Amino acid sequence: MINPLAIFGNHDEKTIQQMWRCLGVGNAVRGVLCADGHFGYAQPVGGVIAYRDMISVSGVGFDIGCGNMAVRTDMGINDIGLRIPQIARDINRKISFGVGRCNNERVDHPLFESDLWKQADIEQLKPMAREQLGTVGSGNHYVDLFRDEEDFIWIGVHFGSRGLGHKTATKYLALAGGVDGMDVAPAVLDAHSELGQAYIAGMTLAGEYAYAGREWVVNQVVRILAAKVTHSVHNHHNYAWQETHDGENLWVVRKGATPAFPGQQGFVGGSMGDNAVIIEGVESPMSFLALYSTVHGAGRVMGRMEAKGKKDKNTGEWKREPRIKREDMDAWVKAKGVYIIGGDVDEAPQAYRRLDEVLKFHEGTIKINHVLRPIVAIMAGKEVRDPYKD
């Protein structure tokens, strides 16, 4: 008999119990907790749940379609070496990080003519979505440049569906009777019901929107580099797919987990100033138990507020001292030779596990095709606040 919960890596009891609670709601069949997992909103980040005929609004989460895209270019490190600071500044000026847009371009796309807007009953979100397409957001969302083993330059981005996904998730979480919170039961819907079909339409649309946004941002960076793309890898890691496992058609909800079917490639980032990888799924008994899923990043070892501390709004004094200092974060990144714009200590490398250690727990389910060393990291600055939950 298959164990209903496959656990990779080491986790605190609170996260494991959250997975078991998810497995007790709806027609859940099996679950997976990846090695980068941690306690999350109703379902752990790094958690995967397979359902019969049901879909979890909480499991997909607020940032529907959040994912990673990476492309290899035909340019080498020697082609851009002296231009790195200027290239980073050009990217930061061109791409909007946080709320709003920094450029005046209207980014149009065929998805705005899709019937899915009406099916999901979210046509009122279209104007906002038009304004935000191609914006990156804040938190752990980024645009990075890397170099591979042959010194070719890669572009890597991480973000999702912005306000469209957040507002769609909020709408259907309420309609499903769910509660917005972390230590709560997940809200699930019958995938065949009218409400379930409407949510699936909204999720599909937000996923297409996230793909379009990442592709637009990557294309802008390609133009800034004056490069050509020679290889591309693109995946969601907050999404639900209909898949066949052990001969059964199931809805597989991945929250902060990368699909890794045999031959399927994925881009997995580490943390600011740390290595990233291009992985590929392989066939094995452990891959089957993992529901052909793997990590989406290195995984946090402390919460955002724990890392950056908390000040009294009136006195400015520390109510909770930060565990990470800015100078320590800057020293780490400088030692790695990374040119950084933006970011804050809540996204410092010290707030995360090391990616190579996390990946070891998934040996036999994936292989590493490329190790990417960061040379530029661009994120929203600490003064930028983002209302859209990750």
**pLDDT class for 101, splitting at 50, 70, 90?**
low
| Buried/exposed 130-151: b ≥16 CB within 10 Å, e otherwise | ebbbbbbbbbbbbbbbbbbeee
Give the lowest-confidence range in 210-224, 343-357, 360-374. 343-357
pLDDT at 103: 43
**Overall average pLDDT of the 193-204 stretch:** 98
Alpha-carbon dihedral of residues 217, 346, 61, 125, nearest 10 degrees?
-50
**pLDDT class for 197, splitting at 50, 70, 90?**
very high
- CB–CB of 136/380 below 8 Å? yes
The pTM for the full model equals 0.94
Structure confidence by residue, pLDDT tens digits, 254-271:
999 999 999 999 999 998
Residues in the chain: 390
**Overall average pLDDT of the 305-313 stretch:** 84
**Overall average pLDDT of the 98-124 stretch:** 83
Tokens of 3: 């164990």
Query: For residue 77, what are the CA distances in angstroms to 110, 125, 276, 355?
Result: 36, 42, 17, 23
Tokens of 215: 């592709």
**pLDDT class for 88, splitting at 50, 70, 90?**
very high
Percent of the chain at pLDDT exceeding 90: 77
Average pLDDT of the residues of the chain:
93
**Overall average pLDDT of the 333-348 stretch:** 90
Structure confidence by residue, pLDDT tens digits, 138-189:
888 999 999 999 999 999 999 999 999 999 999 999 999 998 889 999 999 9
**Overall average pLDDT of the 270-275 stretch:** 88
**pLDDT class for 99, splitting at 50, 70, 90?**
low
**pLDDT class for 390, splitting at 50, 70, 90?**
very low
Domains and CATH numbers, the chain: 5-381 (3.90.1860.10)
**pLDDT class for 389, splitting at 50, 70, 90?**
very low
DSSP assignments along 22-64, one per residue? HHTSSSEEEEEEEEEEE--SSS-EEEEEEESSEEEHHHH-SST
C-alpha 118/C-alpha 124 separation (Å) is: 10
Query: Is the pLDDT assigned to residue 44 strictly greater than 60?
Result: yes
**pLDDT class for 341, splitting at 50, 70, 90?**
very high
**Overall average pLDDT of the 350-365 stretch:** 95
What's phi and psi for 132, nearest 5 deg?
A: -95, -10
C-alpha 351/C-alpha 229 separation (Å) is: 33
